[in-house]
Structure 1
Amino acid sequence: MTVWDRPEPPPRPVPLDRERIVAAAVALADEGGLEAVTVRKVAARLNAGPMRLYGYLSTKEELFDLMLDEVQAEILPREPPRDWREALRVLAHRTRQAALRHEWLADLLGGRPALGPNGLAVTEATLAALDGLADVDTVMRAAETVSAYSIGAIRREIAHLRAERATGLSERDWQRDRGPHVTSMLATGRFPALSRAVHDGTDVDAGTSFATGLDWVLDAVAARLTLPAE
């Protein structure tokens, strides 16, 4: 039985329900990451005893499930685009935006399927955008491919943001600090492809990089959807 299937216990003198518990946990995670979220800390923020929370959830993993589902509500657009490509693009960009607001989301994306109502709604919106354009297996692989790109790119971006905070160096400052080492290594001639990328490549921001890569993935999906049946 999942956490969503179990009824909540009756209220007591200190008002408590899953909605309040999840809101407190999300606030803690926004402030300090998932490592800042414990049942004891959530209970303290709600002025309740820790044991009371176990009437609403059994484990910290269930709390993470509830938190993930809460934030996934931010991913669903109010008006789903009719075109499949735009629908998948919007979902991917909204997932990235949610992760930038709640960096801990990157740590929970890509695990086991999200079974909460909002998580299921995101999955439904993704599959519905492709429904009828190909056989169900092709649709599933297409959805998985877009998801794999989005999650990987989002995690990479969040990792860079965390590194900046940990070192106190922006990406550009870090590159400038490591510049002499990189220059000396490239001068050996052992890395010609990397040298061309460093000297001739265009530096773009994370949002542009994400959008470009996503368009390329959607191009590949479009090619598979239009292949004639064998």
Structure 2
Amino acid sequence: MLVWERPEPPERPVPAPLSRERIVRAAIQLADADGLEAVSLRKVAAALEVGPMRLYGYIATKDELLDLMLDAVYAEIRPVGDDWREVLRSLAETTRQAVLRHEWLADLIGGRPQLGPHALARGEAVLSALDGVDVDLAMPLVTAVDSYVIGAVRREIAERRAERATGMDEKRWQAALGPYLQRQLDTGELPALATVVRDAVHLTADETFRLGLDLLLDGIEARLRK
């Protein structure tokens, strides 16, 4: 039986009562602080001041715990809007913000669809807003937006992690590599790249994300008008 449907053990009078919600909340706090490497049933039990064996009545494996953590964060992703474009924009923005709050989420999203209750509710909210769109296009549209967001946020999280690992933020990294890049551009063999580096507007992460999203939504709108 899947963890979503498996009953929790009955409550009993003990010094430290448990529930799946408390276990998941503790696991998320550990992951937010120190990444997924900090999450194990033993460490979660220690944070809750209970023995590890008590957790097995609620969660059978670490994979189940990760599924529950992921679904708990999906509760933070509730797209809103008055039309498909607003809802898909909200989906993208709220997903990105959830990943930026919970950096470890970048390592779990993607792949097979999530089927927890909050993930399903998110899917229902988005697909309801696409009422009137060809049923064969609805899921590909959502998948296109999800794929864009996943790629964008993984790049942002990779930058955060590189900054921590090297001690250099983006500007310091650019300054350190700048002379090398300039020597390459001065060869004249990279004229298109040189033009972009020299003349293009350099956007912030927020601006880059929103511009890319606009380009995607414009493409979707053009397709829907056919």
Question: How high is the TM-score relative to the length of structure 2?
Answer: 0.96
- 1:122 CA drift (Å): 1.3
Matched, 1:152 2:190: no
Q: How does 1:129-144 map to 2 (within 5 A)?
A: 129-134=129-134, 136-144=135-143
Q: Distance in 2 between matches of 1:76 and 1:140?
A: 17
- 1:50 CA drift (Å): 0.9
AA at the equivalent of 2:89: R
Q: How does 1:1-230 map to 2 (within 5 A)?
A: 1-12=1-12, 13=14, 14-77=16-79, 80-134=80-134, 136-227=135-226
AA at the equivalent of 2:92: A
Unaligned runs of 5+ in 2: none
Deviations 1:170-207 (A, max 9, x none): 10110001111111111122222211111111111101
* SS of equivalent residue, structure 2 residue 103: coil
AA at the equivalent of 2:143: E
Q: Distance in 1 between matches of 2:70 and 2:194?
A: 41
AA at the equivalent of 2:162: A
Q: Distance in 2 between matches of 1:68 and 1:48?
A: 23
AA at the equivalent of 2:124: E
Unaligned runs of 5+ in 1: none
Q: Distance in 2 between matches of 1:191 and 1:54?
A: 59
Bigger Cα displacement from structure 2, 25-34 vs 141-150: 141-150
- 1:95 CA drift (Å): 0.8
Q: Distance in 1 between matches of 2:142 and 2:187?
A: 43
Question: How high is the TM-score relative to the length of structure 1?
Answer: 0.94
* SS of equivalent residue, structure 1 residue 2: coil
Q: Distance in 1 between matches of 2:200 and 2:92?
A: 26
- 1:10 CA drift (Å): 2.0
Deviations 1:108-152 (A, max 9, x none): 111221111111111112222212222x12112111111111111
